[in-house]
A and B are shown apart, each in its own frame.
Chain A
Amino acid sequence: MGTHAPILAIAVPLLGGFATPLVARISRVLRDFWVFAIALFVAVCVGFVAAQVFAHGVTVYVLGGRTPQETLAPGAFPIRIMLTVDGMSAFMGLIAGLLALVAFPFALRFIPEEEGKTLSFTLSLLLLAGIVGLAYTGDLFNFFVFLEVTSIAACGLIGFRTWTSRAPEAAFKTMLLYALSGLFFLMAVAFLYGEYGALNLAFLSRQLRGSALDRVALALFLSGLLLKVAAAPLHFWAPDAYGEAPAAKTLLLVVNTQVSLYGLWRILFTLYGGVLDAGVGWLVVAMGLLTMVVAAVMAVGQQDLGRLVAYGAVSQIGYMMLGVGVGLVTLAGRPDYALVALKGGVFHMLNDALTVGLLFLCVGAVEWVRGTRDLGELGGLGHGLPEVALFFLLASLALAGIPPLNGFASKILIYHGSFQLSPILTAVAVLASILLLAVFARAFQGVFLGPRVEVKPELPWSFLIPMIVSAVGIVVLGLVPGFFLEQVVTPAAEALWRGRHLYLAAVLGG
């Protein structure tokens, strides 16, 4: 189990996804149990891998090799696909496992049986496998394959509500852009393969010399992945996708976006770590700022609760890009500031997963009770659903970065790091946060305050437990951020900061 944990975290949900339709033919109860057991298994595996990586450094697993650690062929070059898990990958895997534990139980009651529950669970498991695969793989073409696995599974889930006309439209738009992003990525891989005859990330990273062709490939990588992470001005698919997917599945879409962001960091920090200049860092910073401002402004006018929260989610991507982008700019000149900013950006990924996850769960609960997400028709739910109102308020405050919640803990690091680079960056980021707070205050008032509305069905426990888990996470991460920063976030941030040579050494030796 120990040595095989990284591959089991990917292969078991794949196998589980293939088998889910068969299991569902036997019994529906068994299927629910099966799906939940696999999500639990994945969470255990990624936790185990993370503990291993944080304790002993980069873990390598060669697929089909004579031993899992034999990375090189006789000529001292890697030939097989390998998983390479460093601090950042393990951290990303942890987020995926955590949100799987939240999303799958919530979906058990949220998706009605007659609406294709089996198929949606199949796609969810495949999406989960793709996300973990993206986080762990150390091979560029394999990365592309998992990018497509997540794209297709995600779009199937976005188009889930096929009886409305909006869901297929959102899914078509998203699929078009995902396909384009995957093709850009594939073209970049093809260019690198044509030049260096290799596909292994670590090996290519050592070969890259910053030639003109490398830059063409970098441009293709950037355009592909920035499309997939919904960075402005390429963000227009994301609110539709997040808004139209069933709320329980939107959580997986959020992790999907985050893992694409992780792919961007992997390309920039590891693959191009040796030849990068600050210009790319500034590009990331600029797009991050643009994303948070544009998304916050667009959120103001939304009448649909799902889309409003979706814009909030998109804006948080901007904060991560700002944090890590600042780290990228200052990496060479002021490494100490770079580490602070990187910690902020990386920590914000975890916080964003929890807060945005909780917000979407609240949206899902509201929609489940009232059957609509239109702010004009909602109101007065605070009397009937006090717990949901409390969770929504908590998550909104955390999203806006109000102390002592977790959003504050990571945003203060981002502000601190970016202030050293330029106070203007910090000012813009703070303003966007305030705007978001205003938007969410309006949403809270519109949905939960007002004259009492009778709430018919009681919320089942399968809704409440995931919400309680996320809420506890938000509060704990906000009250004692130091422990998590030290144990989980710092290894991940350091993997980006100075971890490139460790990553290469784990694969190539020396």
Chain B
Amino acid sequence: MIGNLPFVVCMILVALGLWTLVAKRNLIKLVIGVGLIQNGVNLFLVALGYVRGGIPPIYTLAPAGAPMVLPTPQALTLTSIVIGVATTALMLAFAVVIYRHKGTLDARKVRELRG
């Protein structure tokens, strides 16, 4: 349990994001909730790649003999961060247009499409 504390913290971050999605009704706050989940997952990915006592996996002027952390999770995180940026940008664009039409960001008031 204690050894896994970083993973647990990442999952708590994800859970906070999920709670935001459940509890909040403001469109911007929903976007923030998705962002929280994204950050939690990204942190989780990076944490998976850590090796005790490891150095970055870069050979330029590296100290000899030290273990290197795993490179794949870093690459995956990079991809996932960019995807997160793209998602957030698109959702914010939708929120802006909805606000332009309705004058409100409250999800309960903008729901024209029910059922």
Contacts and interface: CB of A to CB of B under 8 A. Distances in A.
- Asked whether the complex places CB atoms of A and B closer than 8 A, the reply is yes
Interface of A: 141, 145, 148, 151-152, 155-156, 159, 162, 165-166, 168-173, 175-176, 179-180, 182-183, 186-187, 190, 193-194, 197, 199, 236, 239-240, 243-244, 298, 301
A241 to B, nearest CB: 10
A259 B72 CA distance: 27
20 contacts: A145-B79, A145-B83, A148-B87, A155-B90, A162-B97, A165-B112, A166-B112, A169-B94, A169-B110, A171-B94, A172-B94, A175-B90, A176-B34, A180-B34, A182-B87, A190-B41, A190-B45, A193-B45, A193-B73, A298-B115
A187 B39 CA distance: 12
B111 A169 contact: yes
SS class of chain A's interface: helix, strand, loop or mixed? helix
A169 B73 contact: no
Interface in B1-45: 14, 21, 27, 30, 34, 37-38, 41, 44-45
A63 to B, nearest CB: 14
B86 A172 contact: no
B98 A183 contact: no
B58 interface: no
Interface string B72-115: 11001001100100110011011101100110000000111101
B44 A190 contact: yes
Contacts of A240: 113
A492 to B, nearest CB: 30
Nearest to A168: B97
Interface of B: 14, 21, 27, 30, 34, 37-38, 41, 44-45, 48, 70, 72-73, 76, 79-80, 83, 86-87, 90-91, 93-95, 97-98, 101-102, 110-113, 115
A176 B45 CA distance: 22
Given A148-B86, A155-B94, A176-B91, 18 more contacts: A152-B87, A162-B97, A165-B102, A166-B112, A168-B97, A169-B94, A169-B110, A169-B111, A170-B113, A176-B21, A180-B34, A190-B41, A190-B45, A190-B76, A193-B76, A197-B70, A240-B113, A243-B113
Contacts of A187: 14, 41, 44
Nearest to B70: A197
A472 B66 CA distance: 67
Nearest to B88: A179
Contacts of A244: 113
B21 A180 contact: yes
Contacts of A145: 79, 83
A442 B87 CA distance: 40
Contacts of B113: 166, 169-170, 173, 239-240, 243-244
A81 B9 CA distance: 31
A180 B98 CA distance: 20
